[in-house]
Amino acid sequence: MRPDEILDLDPVIHVPTRLAILSLLATMKSASFSYLKKSIGVTDGNLSTHLNKLDEHQYIQITKTFQGKRPLTTCSLTDRGRKAFMAYIQRMEQIIKTQKME
């Protein structure tokens, strides 16, 4: 791959916390806010910021409901998000392959 193509890595996905969120969501139908928080090990505020960014780009869908009287926030990957994530993974795979070939 050409080195300038590395600069095209999707900046919405490339941030490690967001990469961690998408990696998790790609493997499950949906995940609760508290599950993501615990799995990734980030603060509420930090997780919210990154989820909102992914939501803005329509990479994930955020659903707010109630479990009994407690609010429950769940997130799931959209088709657009899955496509973008897979494109990112493929591009990163190419970068790695270039290194392995040398």
Side chain identity, residue 54:
L
d(CA 63, CA 95): 35
Tell whether residue 23 is a contact of its own copies (CB under 8 A): yes
Q: Which residue do the tokens 């998790």 mark? A: 24
The dihedrals phi and psi of 28, each to the nearest 5 degrees, come to -145, 160
Tell whether residue 34 is a contact of its own copies (CB under 8 A): no
Smallest distance from its own copies to CB 58, Å: 20
Nearer to its own copies, 51 or 65 (CB): 51
Tell whether residue 89 is a contact of its own copies (CB under 8 A): yes
Quick check: 18 and 50 in contact, CB under 8 A?
yes
d(CA 55, CA 64): 13
Site string for its own copies, 39-78 (x = CB under 8 A): xxxx------------------------------------
d(CA 58, CA 64): 16
Smallest distance from its own copies to CB 67, Å: 23
> Under the rule (CB under 8 A), what is the footprint of its own copies?
2-4, 6-7, 9, 14, 16-17, 19-20, 23-24, 26-27, 39-42, 89, 92-93, 95-96, 98-99, 102
